[in-house]
Amino acid sequence: MVDTRCVAERMKKMSLNNVAFSDNQRNRESAPVLSYEEKIELSYMRLKGFNYIVRNEIGSVEVFVNKPCRNKPTNGKKNSGYDTWVERAYPMTSEEMKRRRDTELGDYNFITWASEPTLISNLIF
């Protein structure tokens, strides 16, 4: 005699595993393909504690520890020049400057100024 509760529980677990697998597979399919240099640089930056990657209006790419926001909408349009990403207020403190860094190796063409901050962990799996 088969215990129907046991069979139902196994079926539920199997379907949940399939959903998790398909979600993981979907994330990998929608993620951009990184070059070797980009993958190495982002892996290193992630080990150093940086979590977000963004592109400034002028085109430079930076990584941040904390989630940044656009400077002009946050601090008003009184600052001239191109818009950048900041943690909060402008001018930045020396501590805030330590929590951001320019990238050097990759082009990161999949990141645009219009993009929101991207989690590095979503890019390097």
pLDDT tier at 12, thresholds 50, 70, 90: low
pLDDT tier at 122, thresholds 50, 70, 90: very high
Output phi, psi for 54, to 5 deg: -145, 165
Q: Over the stretch 50-89, which tens digit does the pLDDT of each residue have?
A: 999 999 988 999 999 999 988 776 556 665 567 888 887 6
27 HSE (CA, 13 A, CB side): 11
pLDDT tier at 108, thresholds 50, 70, 90: very high
Rounded distance between C-alpha atoms, residue 63 and residue 106, angstroms: 12
